[in-house]
Each structure stands twice: as C-alpha cells, then as structure tokens.
Amino acid sequence: MLCCAHPGFGAPFGPAVKITDTTRKYQLSRTSDRILAVDSKGLVHFTYWSGGISTTPGSPSYVYYRNWSVGQGWSSEESIDNSTFGSLHVGGRHPSLAVTSTDGVFVVWHDHRHCIPQGNWINNVEIYADMRPYGGSFSPNDIRLTQTSKANPGDNGYVPKVISDPDGDLTVVWYDYHFNSDISDLFRLTFDPSASIPAITDLSLHRITDLASRGNTPPFTVPDIAADSTGHHHLVWAGGLGSGVNLYYSEISAASGLAAVTLLKQGGTDFFDPPHIDTAPDDTCWVVYSDKSNGVDEDLVLLKKTDQDTAFATALDLADDGLRQYHPDLAIDSGGLVPWSGSMSLRGIRSCMPDTIHRQARSRKSTLSQTRRPTGCVLPSRPMHSGICMLSGKRIYRHLRATSGLPRQGPAILLRSDPGWTIDLTPNGFPGTGFLAKLKHNRPMRDILKPCRRHNFDI
C-alpha cells in the first residue's frame, strides 16, 4: 500500500511511499474513504487489514494500525484486533477509524471470533472496536459494540463506518442481517468515547431502516456517513450485493428512529464500488458515485445539496468521455474546493483521474477544473481501493492498495499525497511494474464468491 501528501493548493504531490511489504495479503476496507485521518497535531492515522475470501483460525485475518508524523515517518505496524477462538487467532475485517475531539483514535471493524465451525465461521459476526488515547496505546481488551445471537444462521454485522460528530460523540453505522439472514438493514450507534461503551444487545433500538417497509427487498448494504454542523447524519448506501443496484440517501437527526429513505439513482451503484458522502463547513452535502445504470460506460457522478435545498441538484458528470470510471472519492477543504479522484479503463489499462471541483458558497453552480491524468502505464489486472482525506483544510493525503499482478505475491499498501498518481515503483524485485491509484474490482471474483457465501457476506 502507498500513501502520499499534497502540501498545499497548487503544489505538487510528494513521492509515493510504500508502507507495507508483501508478506501478507493486505487489504483496504470495502468503503475505503474513512480509514485515513489526521489529528490536530498533524499526526496521520491509518488502518487496514489482511486476509483472504474467508476468515477462520486456519486462514485468519488481522486489523492493523500505523501512524505518520513529520520527522518520525511511519510507525511500526500494529495488529490491534485481539480476536481469538480458543488459543487461535480468527480476526477482524474492513476497519474504519475516526479521530476523537481529544486526538484519540477510535477503530471499528467486524469480527469473526464468535462464529463457530458448524456455522462456517460466518454465523455470528459482531462489531468490535479499540481506542488509542492521544500519546497512548491500544488496549489488549477490544470493545465489543454488538452482542447479539439470533436463531437465524447468519446473524452478522458488516463493514462498520465511524465518524466524529460536532459535539465530540462518535457514530458508527453498519449493515446487519440480525432480523433476516438474507435481507440486511442499516444500524447506527452514537456514544461518548470518553465514557464506558456497553455492547448493544437490542438492535431494534438502533435500527434506522426496516426491510418490511420496502417489501423485504432489497438488502441495504455498505453505508457511508457524514455529519453536518447541526449533528444531523447524512447517509448513502447500496441496495444489493452486486453491480447496477440502487443508490439510496437519507438524512437523520441525532434522535433514534427510522430514516426517510430517498432513491437517488435506479441501478446507479455497486456493492463492490460503493458511493461516498461528505459535508462542507457550510453544511452542503456532496455525494460521489460511479454510475452503473446505463450498462455501457460508467461515469463518475457528483451530487450536491445545500442546507437550503429539499433535494439534490442536477447530477454533474465528472468525466463524460465514453470510458469506464470507478472507485471515486472526495474530500472538502475549508476554501470550498472539492478534491476528487477516480480511475478509468482504456483498452484494459486503468489509470487515475484526479481533479478538483470549485464550489461557490451556497451556489447551485459548480466549476469543473481540468482533469489531470497520469502519463505512465499501470497494471490492468488486479483490484484495489483508495481514499482521500484533508488536513487543516488544504493538505491532501491519498492512499491506495496495489498489487503486482504476479502469482504468489501479496498486495502492498502505499501512501501518497498527489492527485497525479504517476507511480513508478519496483515491487517484488520486478522493475518497471508500476502501481496506480485505483482499479475496478475483479468482476469474476464476484461469481466465485457467491456460491461460497453462507446466507450473507461482506467479501
């Protein structure tokens, strides 16, 4: 995996830095926009995981944490999920992190430690967390956020996302099959990270969608969440487990209760390429997704809604060029700029298209700056994720997962802070292989995984 930093508007990105080796199959989370954050001291916090298709004691997964600071560079890799079945490590998957108001780090993930062999290690997946206070260390005792055991064989919660609310609370959202082993709903938990956090035993108190209200279909999955200055939560998610599924949105107050669900785009999104959402300082809400609805090319689309609007404005097509674009992400700086990025496919080659949209405060107009594409060739065959975050409104950090495309070689994680994404590395001793910012998920993998799942899955 790689990471890089963009020190200021108009400045070039720094060189990509490789931050993992290839000893494990390192992964970024399914919705990879909330795994990198910067605290008020300028310390960069990063979480990721390793593992394969399944998580068992024989093929465990691990949740990791690292940080970076000026002068110190990257810290050593820490495995933070104390997930065991007997004496064996089982593991967590798909972590997310948030920085608290006191510069602590709170990491959430879903965990297989309560599953059993008779349930194929996927019959009671729970949401877990751990917290690292500022200047301290993660606890050897993980925080269990859900404690449920339904009669159905797939009582599983998946892919939690955590954000820091304006009042200092933290909010976690995830999708869960607690009430139906085939159709998932969305759930939300808000809490004070400085207080004791008891595990949820009654999920009905935290349910924000109800499958009965939509005729028991489709499953709601992979939510992303953002908070505005009033404490309201804005969510987007997918309506299914494949490609070309519906894109949904909801705005919810801090009080508990079911959300009013809005269909943003029929067949517009993808479980393996989820939508992302963020809010600006003036409470303008932005959504970015790769539109799967026409079945031909897949354009990156941006939606915007100010706090005065009752609906999202006309969609802005970020790259209407006949090519296929995937895995968008966005962030919003203090000056009203919306940096975004995605990847495109041209004759089998994937490359990144970073750009910035200038937003006039409370205006319904958006100006799209010129797209910058890399000049080098990148790998066409392996999937990857990436994300973006802001520091003090201006500095941009990017991260990505890249693989060499060679057999028996694990992916590497890198951190980079330049939207230019022309990366020329030498992974695994093979010169000139190169990496790129984001690749589309390998579609055949979905066909392989579907027969393997038991009732529900996260992949």
Res. 298 pLDDT band, cuts 50 70 90: confident
The yes-or-no verdict on residue 60 having pLDDT over 70 is yes
pLDDT at 405 over 80: no
Is domain 2-452 annotated with CATH 3.40.50.150?
no
Report the distance separating Cα 350 and Cα 340, nearest Å: 17
Give pLDDT tens digits for 347-398. Answer: 444 455 555 554 433 334 555 454 444 333 343 333 355 566 655 444 556 6
Q: What is the mean pLDDT of residues 60-68?
A: 97
d(CA 90, CA 87): 10
Instruction: Answer for the pair 178, 170: CB distance below 8 angstroms, yes or no.
Output: no
Question: How much of the chain is in helix, strand and coil states, percent to nearest 5?
Answer: 5, 40, 55
The pLDDT > 70 percentage for the chain reads 71
Band of residue 227 on the pLDDT scale cut at 50, 70, 90: very high
Q: Closest Cα to residue 172, out of 235, 108, 114, 230?
A: 108
pLDDT at 4 over 80: no
| pLDDT value, residue 445 | 31
pLDDT at residue number 322: 73
pLDDT of residue 418: 36
Per-residue pLDDT band for 423 (boundaries 50, 70, 90) equals very low
pLDDT value of position 238: 98
Residue 279 has pLDDT above 60, yes or no: yes
For the chain, give every domain's residue range: 2-452
Question: For the chain, what is the mean pLDDT?
Answer: 79
- Mean pLDDT to the nearest integer, 20-31: 88
What's residue 377's pLDDT? 32
Tell me the average pLDDT across 85-114. 98
- 8 Å CB contact between 456 and 184: yes
279: which strand partners? 285
CA 355 – CA 41 distance, rounded (Å): 27
User: pLDDT higher for 200 or 383?
Assistant: 200
Confidence of residue 323 (pLDDT cuts 50, 70, 90): confident
pTM exceeding the 0.85 threshold for the entire prediction? no
Is the pLDDT reported for residue 92 higher than 50? yes
Phi/psi region, residue 225 (left: phi>0; alpha: psi -120 to 50; beta: rest), is beta
In this prediction, residues 50-60 reach a mean pLDDT of: 96
Percent of the chain at pLDDT exceeding 90: 56
Q: Is the pLDDT of residue 435 over 80?
A: no
Phi–psi pair at 214, nearest 5 degrees: -120, 25
Q: Using CA atoms, how far apart are residues 252 and 80, in angstroms rounded to an integer?
A: 32
Q: Is the pLDDT of residue 409 over 70?
A: no
Name the band, by pLDDT with cuts 50, 70 and 90, for residue 50: very high
pLDDT at 211: 97
Tokens of 120: 């194929």
